[in-house]
Each structure stands twice: as structure tokens, then as C-alpha cells.
Amino acid sequence: MEQARQAATFDSTLLTHMHYLNREENASSRRAAFARVETALGITDTMQLPHLHTGLDRRELYLEGLRRGRAIVTDMLQHNHTHFVNLTERSQLTNATPFGLNFLMFRRTINLQGTAEQKRYWLPLIDRMEINGCYAQTELGHGSHVRGIETTATFDSAAGEFVLNSPTVTATKFWPGGLGLSCSHAVVAARLVTRGVDHGVHWFVVQIRDNSDSTPIKGVTLGDLGLKMAYNGTCNGYAHFNLLRVPGSSLLAAHTQVLPDGAYVRNDAGAQENLAKQSYATMLEVRRVVIHWAAFGLAQPLTVATRYAVVREQGALMFSQPTVPELAILEYKTQHQRLLTLISQAYAILFASMELDDCFEEHQQEKREGKIGRLSFIHAVSAGLKAWATQAVAAGAEEARKMCGGHGYLVISGLPEMVATACAAATFEGENYVMWQQTLRYLFKQIGALQAGRMLDSDMTESLSGYQQWLQVEGDKSSPSHLLLDSNHLSEPEKLLKIFQHHFHRLLSAAHSFYAQQTRTSSPAEAWNASLPRLLPAAHSYIEYLVLHSMQRRVAVIGKAQPSLLPVLSRLTELFALTTITNPGPSFTSISFAEDRILTADHFPQMRARIDELLVALLPDIIALTDAWDFTDASLCSALGCRDGNLYERLMSWTKQLPVNQQDLAREAWTIEGGIGEFLRGDITSGTKSRL
């Protein structure tokens, strides 16, 4: 392992600093926070079986989550930092703990939807953690589609109260993190009804448990959803409201209010629109957090799989002598291909996430100056990037797990939980198939602007430059051939970006023509539906273009600050581009680059040859590239993936420490009624003739 670590062409700590806003002090302060929390939790001894892996039941998993959540929140409060607002000490999203949504969504909703007075009242309580809140939007029968929400909040002007009610089984609030057992308060999405009129969904701050003793408030039934694939350290829950009365001040009233006489009033001209935009803003912020997490969600299992590949010996090459010793699995070419391709994707997500954050910062700055023009671009991009990144992390985490063979199937390898955690993100905070459509809808609007001769959004001028000529062609039928590729230039960043842009333009044009064709005989909604299988790949190809663009830009910036990092990151970027072109993407949302007319059958072998060269050049850096993510051993919680590479002793030691091996479970299994003993004594089969 040390040998593999020494082989690097660059200093991995320099790259680590780049991950934390290019600042060494951020990286150090984060490390110090990790050290304090891990020490407080008593999880720094890597030869000790982590409590998390002792085979816990539902109750124990939750209590362990509580213990960890408390440790990170306490550290944040005592040391005055924000390292764990978005990611926990295990680099999971903080909604993996019972306290995670208090800051991530509960606070944000009140901050965006509350009046100045409401904020003055609630925010300090939240910041001091004197209340713990959750975000209650989805219902048993209704997901992220807000219009479907059934919960009602009916204004009773006589009492000056709202009456919260779940009129049906499907109206039961279902899924909110922390709702089941841990929260005193919730922001609740409910249809505001006053004077008999339904004004649509609004937000209400509601106390759901007695602060002092956890008893649910009368009128609320609460419960936990039981075990999930992962995130069992928190209590995703359900809540049924039975005519619960809450004060009139519960309505978050920044944009709309209900007067004492029951009149419904919009505070500002575009109140409804602002409400929607502000809701967008909450979702957008959480989506940015999810995208950022995705980079680490993929990086974690890759760190484990890479370290495992260095130490694990397995099999021999076909045609090698029977006497040769087994080969480290990192020696296999397919392992280089799989590991380094996925490592390039993890870096691509990280860099794209940083670029998006910068863009968002600029937007915030511009907003303070009174402009709001970039929000729809950022919304469209964050939706698509969320879908693309979470798809990549789910598939890549599972691929990394498979690369650890049978041992990767053990819970103590840490990989099953990483994979299960990764898989959730494709669904939550916007189901990916919905996300893609939002990106595409924005792109269609931009095409509409082009067709009408209007200005494109400023963020789109570069990516749609040259698209004019696609307005003339009929879908797939023919394609502009402005891009003549010769094989000498396939490695140039500009050329690679052009290939991605052409792919995106072609698929966007094909999707748009198809849709336009459908609208001749169908309603826009039906046409949209019929076109979906073409629309998604167009959105997918745009995001791939954007990711490559972001990665190239970011690497250039880093390379200027730290020239020693430029060679390895440039190789990684080229590898990302070439493998994206040559390796088929996920089945249902992408279409092969090989269908593009500009790439001939000759280009592909050339690209594969170049990939081979890049893999050879990157291989010495493979451990450094994973070390640079700077995961602590305790955060990986993996018998296979510790930094020291001491795989087998740790695996055997953790296995022997398992509670199942302290009990005499075998004796129980043999001696209980109906147990193995009865079988072996022949009590069951006596007198039975078997033909098995």
C-alpha cells in the first residue's frame, strides 16, 4: 500500500485543499472537526468492530444515529462552524441523522416563507436547537408533485385558528425525515382553505410533539416507517392530522396572509409567483447540496475499492504459468478501466458542483443588485445535474462494490450501506425522470427564443452557439457537418468539448422536431408524453456537455493555482470525456455518441487506444487520487478500505467481534423446537421415503 501511495506524481494534500474552496485552512478546520467528533464518538480504533456493524435492529440503528447526530450538532454549536450542516461525519447527507433537516430544510423554509416577525421568533430557536424541525410535504399517495397534496388547513375565523386535517389515508404525511420520532416541530404543506375557497398549498409551522416529554400533540398521530435500505439513523415518519387546531400565526406569511375575518390577501403583486419562486429556491439549495454530496458518495466506495484492489490478490492471467503467484487485482486492465473511469466521474461531479455553486453565488450577488435573470437557468441546470450525478453515483457505487467481490457483499465492508445510501438520491429531492424534463423544458424555451429571434439567456449563449443551423434541419434526417474531425485532434480539450456539443445539439434538435411533429396531431401534454423517450437523452447530453465544460474550466483554474496538479487532472478530464463517448451510458436516458455522424467507425478504436495510454499514465496516481478525497478511516467504516491496507487481519478481527459469534446461536438453532437437531435425528423424515 505504501509503495502504491509513493508512486504518485503529485502531492495529494494539495488536491485536497482544492476541494475545500481552494483553501488549506478550510481543509484543516474540517479535519480538526472530524477528529474531535470521532474521538467523542470513540470510533478511532480501526481494529475495533464499529458499533454500526454489529447487526443492529431498527431501534438500535436509530439510537446510534441519534448519538452521532448529537455529536456533530454539539461540535458545530461549541466550535462555531458549519462543516456538518450538509454532510455528517460519515460524509453522508445530514438527513441521515435525526437532526439533519432542522437546518437543511426546516430553517430554510421559514427563512424564505416567513415574515420578518416569524423569522425573529423561530430562527433563534432553531439555531440554538431548542426545537428540532422537519419538512412535511410528501404524503402517502403524493410525492414531489405539490398540486396533489390533500392535507387541508381550514381557517376558522371565530377562533382565529387553522384546522389541519388529513381527509384520507393517502393524505397521511409520509416520508419526512425526523418526523417519526425525533421532531418537536414541522413545516407542513397543506391546502389553505378560507371562506370555503381552496387557495392551494401553503406552508404552516406546526408543533407536533410536546417539547418536554415527546408526547405527540393531541390531534396528530405519528410513527416511524421502519427499516429502509439506508438512512436508518434517522426516523422517516408518518403523520396523520385529525382536526388539529393551530394558531393563525402558523401560516408562513411572507407572501400571502389570511386576515382575522378570513379574507385571503396577497402581500405583493406577484405573490403566488414569488411563493413558487421561493419554493424553487429551497429545492434548488437542497439540490445543490445533493449534487455536492454525490461527488463524495461516489468517492467513498471508490476509495475502498481502489485500496482493496491494491492489496487483494486474486487469480492469474489467462495463459500464465500454473506456478505464478496470484495477481493483485489492480493488475487487471479491466480494473484500471473501471476504477479510473469512475474516479474521473467522481471528480467531474465535484468540479461541476463547484462551478454550479460559483454560478449560484454570482446569482445571489446579482439578486442583491436587483437582477433575477439567472434563476431559471440555475434551476434547469441543478435539476439535470442532480439527475445526472445521482444516476452516476448509484451506478458507480454498485460497480465499486462489485469490484470488491464477495467481501464487498458483507455489511462490515461498509459498501452495502454506501450503495444503499447512494441509491436513494435518484429518487429524493426530485425524482430523476422529473428532473430531466425540467432541464429539457428550459432548453425548449431557449430554442423558442432562438426561433423567435429573441436573446438567449446569457448562460446559454456559449452552449447553444452554432445551434442556429439545427433550426433548419428535420430531426435526425440530416445533420450539419460543420465538425470535421481528424484523428490527430481527438485529444484536444476544445475538440472533445465540440464533440459533446454536437451530440447535445443533434439530440436536442431531434427531440424538438419529434415533439413538434407530435403536436400537429396531439395536445401539447400528449405530445410531450409521446416524446419522452427522445427528450430525456437530449437533456442528458446537455448535462454531459456542461459537466465536461465545467471540469475543463475548473481544472484550468486549479492548474494555474497549483501547476503540479495540472498534468494529472488534465489526464483525468480527457479520460472522462473519452470514456463518456466510448462507453455506453445508462440505458434509458442516453443515446450513444456512435450514432452521431461526425464520429466514424475509425474514431472509436483511436479513442480506445488513447484511453489505454491515459490509463497507463494515471495508474501511478490512483491511490493519491483517492487519498485526496481525505476520508478518515472511521468515516468509511469499512473493513476493506482503511488507509493502511491491512485488509485480512481487520476483516477477520471484525468478524470475530460480531455479537453473533459471542452468542451460541448454533446451539439455539439446533436445540429449539423445529430446529436443526430434529432434522438430523430423523424425527421429521422417519417413515418418509425420499426420491431427492
Question: Rounded to the nearest whole angstrom, what is the least distance from the CB of residue 318 to a copy of itself in the complex?
Answer: 5
Single out the residue of 243, 317, 372, 561 in contact with a copy of itself (rule: CB under 8 A): 317
691 part of the interface to a copy of itself, by CB under 8 A: yes
User: Is 138 annotated as a binding-site member?
Assistant: yes
* Residue 202 binding a copy of itself, by CB under 8 A: no
Nearer to a copy of itself, 12 or 345 (CB): 345
CB of 555 to a copy of itself, least distance (A): 23
Q: Does 688 bind a copy of itself (CB under 8 A)?
A: yes
Q: How far is the CB of 342 from a copy of itself (least distance, A)?
A: 9
Q: What type of residue is 391?
A: Q
Q: Return the number of the residue (212 or 453) whose C-beta is nearest a copy of itself.
A: 212
Residue with Cβ nearer a copy of itself (16 or 152): 152
Residue window 479-498: x/- pattern of binding to a copy of itself, with contact defined by CB under 8 A:
x-------------------
CB 184 within 8 A of CB 208: yes
Which residues 244-303 are close enough to bind a copy of itself by CB under 8 A?
Answer: none
Query: Residue 487 burial by CB count (10 A; 0-12/13-18/19+): exposed, middle or buried?
Result: middle
Task: List binders of a copy of itself among 335-374 (CB under 8 A).
Answer: 337-338, 341
Q: Which of residues 504-543 bind a copy of itself (CB under 8 A)?
A: 510, 523-526, 528-534, 536
| Contact by Cβ (8 Å): 659, 50 | no
- Options 112-120, 369-377, 490-498, 584-592: segment touching a copy of itself (CB under 8 A): 584-592
The continuous run of DSSP H or E covering 153 comes out as strand 152-156
Query: Which segment (8-16, 214-222, 550-558, 630-638) binds a copy of itself by CB under 8 A?
Result: 214-222
Under the binding rule (CB under 8 A), the answer on residue 214 touching a copy of itself is yes
Give dist(CA 328, CA 318) in Å, integer.
14
- Between CA 67 and CA 413, with CA 65 as vertex, the angle to 5 degrees is 115
Task: Pick out residues in 637-666 that bind a copy of itself (CB under 8 A).
Answer: 648-649, 651-652, 655-656, 658-661, 663-666
Q: Which stretch binds a copy of itself (CB under 8 A): 31-39, 320-328, 362-370, 459-467?
A: 320-328
> Distance (Å, rounded) from C-alpha 547 to C-alpha 497?
10
Nearer to a copy of itself, 159 or 652 (CB): 652
Binding to a copy of itself in span 135-174, by CB under 8 A:
138, 140-145, 147-148, 169-170, 172
Marked catalytic residue, from 64, 89, 429, 544: 429
Question: How many residues sit in the footprint of a copy of itself (CB under 8 A)?
Answer: 178
CB neighbourhood size of 125 (10 A): 16
Four-residue CA torsion sign, 113, 173, 104, 18: negative
Of residues 68-107, those binding a copy of itself (CB under 8 A): 70, 73-74, 76-78, 80, 82, 85, 98-99, 103
Q: How far is the CB of 159 from a copy of itself (least distance, A)?
A: 28
Q: Which residues of 503-533 are buried (b: 16+ CB within 10 A; e: fewer)?
A: bbbbbbbbbbbbbeebeeeeeeeebbebbee
Which H/E stretch holds residue 161? strand 161-165
Q: In the numeric block, which cell numbers belong to residue 169? A: 389515508
Q: Of 393-422, which residues contact a copy of itself (CB under 8 A)?
A: 394-395, 398-399, 401-402, 405-406, 408-412, 416, 420
Q: Minimal distance in Å, beta carbon 155 to a copy of itself?
A: 22
Residue 231 to residue 196: CA distance in whole angstroms = 41
Out of 273, 594, 613, 644, the residue judged to bind a copy of itself by CB under 8 A: 594
Q: Is 563 in the site for a copy of itself (CB under 8 A)?
A: no
Quote the CA–CA distance of 35 and 42 in Å, as a whole number: 10
Q: Enter the DSSP assignment of 467.
A: G
Closer residue to a copy of itself (CB): 16 or 501: 501
357 vs 362: CA distance, rounded Å: 9
Q: Judge whether 180 and 237 are in contact, CB under 8 Å.
A: yes
Q: Is residue 672 a contact residue for a copy of itself (CB under 8 A)?
A: yes
Residue 678 appears among annotated catalytic residues: no
Considering the rule CB under 8 A, would residue 129 count as an interface residue with a copy of itself?
yes
CB neighbour class for 298 (10 Å; exposed up to 12, middle 13-18, buried from 19):
buried
Out of 192, 256, 320, 538, point to the residue binding a copy of itself (CB under 8 A): 320
Q: Is 551 in the site for a copy of itself (CB under 8 A)?
A: no
Please tell me whether residue 48 binds a copy of itself under the rule CB under 8 A. no
Residue 72 burial by Cβ neighbours in a 10 Å radius (0-12, 13-18, 19+): buried
Q: How far apart are CA 367 and CA 364, in angstroms?
A: 5
448 binds a copy of itself (CB under 8 A): no
Q: Which three cell numbers stand for residue 94?
A: 445530514
Helix, coil or strand: residue 186:
strand
Shortest separation between residue 620's beta carbon and a copy of itself, angstroms: 17
Compare residues 467 and 515 and give the one whose CB is closer to a copy of itself. Answer: 515
**Grid cell for residue 336:** 484500471
**Span of 153-161, 248-256, 301-309, 668-676 interacting with a copy of itself by CB under 8 A:** 668-676
- Whether residue 373 is annotated as binding a ligand: the answer is no
Give the helix ranges, DSSP H, for 107-154.
Answer: 108-113, 116-127
Smallest gap from Cβ 347 to a copy of itself, in A, equals 17
Backbone torsion region of residue 115, taken as left when φ is above 0, otherwise alpha when ψ lies between -120 and 50, otherwise beta: beta
Q: What is the DSSP string of 24-91?
A: HHHHHHHHHHHHHHHHHHT---TTSPPGGGS---HHHHHHHHHHHHHHHHHHHHHHT--TTTTB-TTS
Q: Is 308 helix (H, G, I), strand (E, B) or coil?
A: helix
One character per residue 6-45, x = contact with a copy of itself (rule: CB under 8 A): ----------------------------------------
Question: How near is the Cβ of 251 to a copy of itself at its closest, in Å?
Answer: 22
- Which triple of cell numbers denotes residue 487? 484523428
CB burial readout 302-312, b (16+ within 10 A) else e:
bbbbbbbbbbb
**Phi/psi at 99 (nearest 5 deg)?**
-105, -5
The one segment of 20-28, 180-188, 486-494, 563-571 that binds a copy of itself by CB under 8 A: 180-188
Beta pairing, strands 152-156 & 244-247 = unpaired
Residues forming the annotated binding site for FAD? 138, 177
Residues forming the annotated binding site? 138, 177
Q: Which residues are catalytic?
A: 429
